[in-house]
Chain A
Amino acid sequence: MPKPLPQLDSALLARAQHGDRTAHAEIYGLFATSVFTLARRMLASKPLAEDVLQDTFVEVIRKVGTYRGEAEFGFWVKRIAINKCLMHLRSSWVSRRDSDGDKLVSSLPTRAAGIDDQIALERALDALSDTARVVVWLHDVEGHTHGEIGRMMGRTASFSKSQLARAHERLRLLLGGQPANDGPTELCTPVLKTC
């Protein structure tokens, strides 16, 4: 399951909805790290993630008065952040980077052996195409369904499924075909669609 989000107590929410700047700062303190992590993982760029963090909380401050509790507050904040990330990814320079994403493979170590697993995994994640990275993060970490991801991206659930499969195929190659933790080391080539 994805990491649980902090709970927001109703008194703090009420203060924030009345424009209390201290309450806004407290909300920022509760959710900033999860929003920044989400943006950094989705965009693979610290400056872009900072832009998203900034834009997200400017919007949270301005729209907190309209929050009616239909979804958990943390999900509401994260949904704003995800939309901001997707807006960044729609810009064409990012789209071009997307198409070039696979080329990064050659500049990465072919096997994760000898490198700290988390660093190797972070590198591999960053090396995925933008779309594949977004889908794998939203599905495997944030827990969104393929239907939700498809709608957020203006596509279909099938699109999300195929991108997730592509992401895992790439991750396997980028991680040298080895499991992230201890386990069998042989490559499992028969699962490739091309076999």
Chain B
Amino acid sequence: MHPSTEDLLSVRDGEPLDAGTSNVIADDATLEREIERMRQVRHALRQLPELPPADDMWQRIVAVERETRPRSNARWLAGAGIAAAVALLAIFVISSPPRPTGGIAPRAIPAGDGLTTRAIAEPPSTVVGAETSAETLFDRDRLLVGGRIVPVSYPALVQESARLDRALRRLPYQRPMMSAETATTIAGLEDRIALIDEQITYSNARGVPQPQRVALWGERVDLMNALVHVRYAQAQP
């Protein structure tokens, strides 16, 4: 049996290896050369140049740290009107019960939700390349997300989730300008999404049944949709 790449890397890294495999490697010049090649790759990786960040990064960090720091009551009250609108959507999404795992009863998401009506010059559904609709859909097999009708199926939800990810990445970077309340809302949504992502990532290993995976993806789509709305509203001048 030929030694595996793992075996060769063990030799390279000075880790213990069984005597039989060690002997095979020691007797084979080709394998010795391969180990040497791996050493050279490691050396070359360590020699890659360091990459300095952009010159304005420290200013950005200071601004973000200042903007997201807990504020006084007076400043909080001044921004409460705007924050309330943003928070409403987050509460709507976050506090909604998860879908049942057997028969999926999708939660409807109003496309032109009142939350961002004033702040958004162009609705997020347009931003992400979909038609806008104010209708609300309650259906066991379909979900209305930002004016788009999405079938409640594993591939459709994964696809919709990817579409929202792309939409989010297209939004301009505005973090230094946001209020603490908006930042908190966004952080809350991102945390929820990260939690879902973790569950999705390990769902295979944990043997999560397919209906539950569909429910997880459905919840991710909901949260991503909310995040896109909030980020879009926040990005408006």
Contacts and interface: CB of A to CB of B under 8 A. Distances in A.
Interface string B144-177: 0000000000000010011001100000010100
Interface string B169-206: 00001010000000000000000011001101110000
Contact of A172 (B4, B37, B62, B198): B37
Nearest to A189: B30
Given A33-B50, A62-B65, A87 B194 contact: yes
Nearest to B54: A50
A62 B48 CA distance: 31
Interface residues of A, number: 60
B128 to A, nearest CB: 14
A125 B62 CA distance: 32
B40 interface: yes
Contact of B44 (A165, A169, A180, A192): A180
13 contacts: A3-B46, A36-B57, A37-B51, A57-B61, A58-B68, A87-B194, A121-B44, A168-B5, A168-B41, A172-B37, A179-B36, A184-B33, A188-B30
Contacts, number: 154
The contact size tier of chain B is 35 or more
B57 A190 contact: no
A106 B45 CA distance: 22
B5 A193 contact: yes
Interface of B: 2-6, 8-9, 28, 30-31, 33-34, 36-38, 40-54, 57-58, 60-62, 64-65, 68, 158, 161-162, 165-166, 173, 175, 193-194, 197-198, 200-202, 220
Contacts of B38: 168
Nearest to B41: A180
A186 B36 CA distance: 13
Nearest to B35: A191
A86 to B, nearest CB: 10
- Most chain A beta-carbon contacts within 10 A, residue among B4, B52, B173: B4
